[in-house]
Amino acid sequence: MANTRSAKKRIRQNEKRRIRNKNVRTRTRGFIKRARLAIEEGNPEAANEAVKMAISQIDRAKSKGVLHPRNAARRKSRLMKHLTPLLDSK
């Protein structure tokens, strides 16, 4: 258990940040899942819109420090990689 005032404060800060990060991470995963499902359905317009929303959310998570910049780039790249054939077949 923490003994010093600074250690106790650090515990409080970490808990607040953990909760905030969890919310951002969960929201990001949801947008990514919706984008993947839209791509699988095969509707190019809906899939394109869903991927845009997911990429926006990934960038938001990256700017808040929840996702590492390279992790965010990799996720965006994979989404676009799946979306591109669908848009090309239009």
Task: For residue 11, give the amino acid letter.
Answer: I
Q: What is the mean pLDDT of residues 48-70?
A: 97
pTM for the full predicted model: 0.86
pLDDT band at 89 (very low <50, low <70, confident <90, very high): confident
CB 24 within 8 A of CB 62: no
Confidence of residue 90 (pLDDT cuts 50, 70, 90): low
Superfamily of domain covering 5-88 = Ribosomal protein S20 (1.20.58.110)
Q: Domain segments of the chain: what residues? A: 5-88
